[in-house]
Amino acid sequence: LEWKAEKYGKNIIEIGRFDPSSKICSSCGNIKHDLKLSDRIYRCDVCGLTIDRDHNASKNIRKIGLIKVGSVRSEYTPVEIATSGLYGCPERQMSLR
């Protein structure tokens, strides 16, 4: 992947191996601690979002990556954003869609 990115002049941004990208609701930031690997559909208990687990994770990975490169101004780390519920807070809403 690295050589391909270099070939096309792209950057690779890594996120933490243990970032809970599948367990965070990409809409409101709620963390679903009891999500099992066999659960292929993510259903948020807080906002009601129903989405494919991998699609949800990809949205979260994108948000975390954009925060890391500074495309999204934030005084919080991705984990602090997810655990504080700032995804759904209108004052701090990240418009990354």
Q: Would residue 12 count as lying in a domain?
A: no
DSSP string across 24-73: B-TTT--B-TT--TT--EEE-TTT--EEEHHHHHHHHHHHHHHHHHTSS-
Higher pLDDT, 42 or 77: 42
List pLDDT tens digits, range 10-68: 888 888 888 889 999 999 999 999 999 999 999 999 999 999 999 999 999 999 888 88
In a domain, 31, yes or no: yes
Which one is predicted more confidently, 76 or 16? 16
In a domain, 85, yes or no: yes
Whether residue 86 is contained in a domain is answered as yes
Asked whether residue 2 is assigned to any structural domain, the reply reads no
Q: What is the pTM of this model?
A: 0.65
Cα–Cα distance between 49 and 3 in angstroms, integer?
37
Domain, as residue range, for 24: 18-92
* pLDDT surpasses 80 at 8: yes
Give the chain's domain count: 1
Residue 51 in domain: yes
Please report whether residue 10 resides in a domain. Answer: no
